[in-house]
Amino acid sequence: MINRIIAVISICCLMSACGPSRHDIEYQKLETFLAANPVSEPVTPVNIASQYSKLDKLYFAVLAYQQDRYADAKILLAPYVEQNDADALFWHAKIIYASSIKNTPIAARMLLESIKQGNPYAMMAFSPEEAMCQRYFSSYCDEKYITMAQQIFAEQAQTTGDVRAVYYSKMLPVDYSVRVDAIIEAANNHYYYPLFDYAKLLFYDANQYELELRIKLLTYLAHHNFIPAIDSLKGHYSKQARVLKTKKNNEYYKLVEQGMRLGSRKAWASHYFNEEDNNVSNFDLYVIAQTIYLLSKSDRYLKFTLSLHGEEKIRAEILAQQNIDNMNMVLYTDAAHAR
């Protein structure tokens, strides 16, 4: 009898060991998804499911937030914060919560008011799983907020079909049994952040296959103009660029140029150093540095560059503004990924 029990246990152990792991199943689903959505030249037209459109009152405030122009974002949010608008309170809180000891409780009150008005993203900010909550709002961290958020997302998914609501109604709390299916569904609906988050997980303690899968996923996302993926993939190819030292058929330079067209500050910063290495004129470097300043209000690159004066400076500033005007700005940041 004992021998039979041992035999049954051994067989079960062998079956468990030989069966595919959760990760293996997820990877296979992602490979199937990638095979069904091959990447080819040229990149696809910009089609990202932004949380806000240009007609929405908070669009330019959130775009300023995305570009690290926090002072501009606060100014743009101010009239709506005064009106106690739930979304505006959330974004303002995200800007100020870590800026000073005095601002942290102010941010907490803003988030609580936003929660009171039914903002599920403010509820997510008080998740016990959130490092921000544990560090700055530990007395407020509570699982009840995740339950509340999930219920609201479920209602929104039913009534509006919003891609974020659909995704988070399934993934609050995280359900590993449907995770990749939900990620793929979101990507098919042009909400790319969940797939990018998954790709990031394949970097730490990853084996060679996982690293290669990560590059495949980032390549897919870059092909669909998702700026965080472009910036991440650009770093991957930077070593190759230094070896080849040519722009022809060089993925790094292609990504830099793509990022520049979409308004990526990191891409423009890479362009600055690339041109500096190529010994371009100080005037051209100044135009690039001024473009970065207009994008992000960071004068770091202007400090690296010799100052211009008079008509030459005016001409450079006009060219920098033309660079901004010619960009196809993409709003990819959403409330679920507010820093």
User: What is the pLDDT, as a whole number, of residue 5?
Assistant: 37
Query: CA angle, 285 as apex, 284 and 289 as ends, to 5°?
Result: 120
With CA atoms as reference, report the closest residue to 115 among 95, 82, 144, 139: 144
Phi, psi of 123, rounded to the nearest 5 degrees: -65, -40
pLDDT score at 333: 96
Q: Are 262 and 229 in contact (CB under 8 A)?
A: no
pLDDT of residue 205: 86
Q: What does each C-alpha distance from 86 to 70, 95, 119, 176, 224 come to in angstroms?
A: 18, 15, 7, 31, 31
Q: Which positions of the chain have pLDDT values less than 70?
A: 1-19, 240-249
Among the listed residues 120, 122, 135, the one whose alpha carbon sits nearest the alpha carbon of residue 94: 122
Per-residue confidence (pLDDT) for residue 100, from 0 to 100:
95
Residue 164: predicted pLDDT: 98
Which pLDDT score is estimated for 246?
Answer: 61
Q: For residue range 277-331, what is the model confidence (pLDDT) as tens digits?
A: 888 999 999 999 999 999 999 999 999 999 999 999 999 999 999 999 999 999 9
Please report where in the chains the tokens 């150093």 appear, as a residue.
273
Burial of 179 (0-12, 13-18, 19+ CB in 10 A): middle
| Residue 18: predicted pLDDT | 54
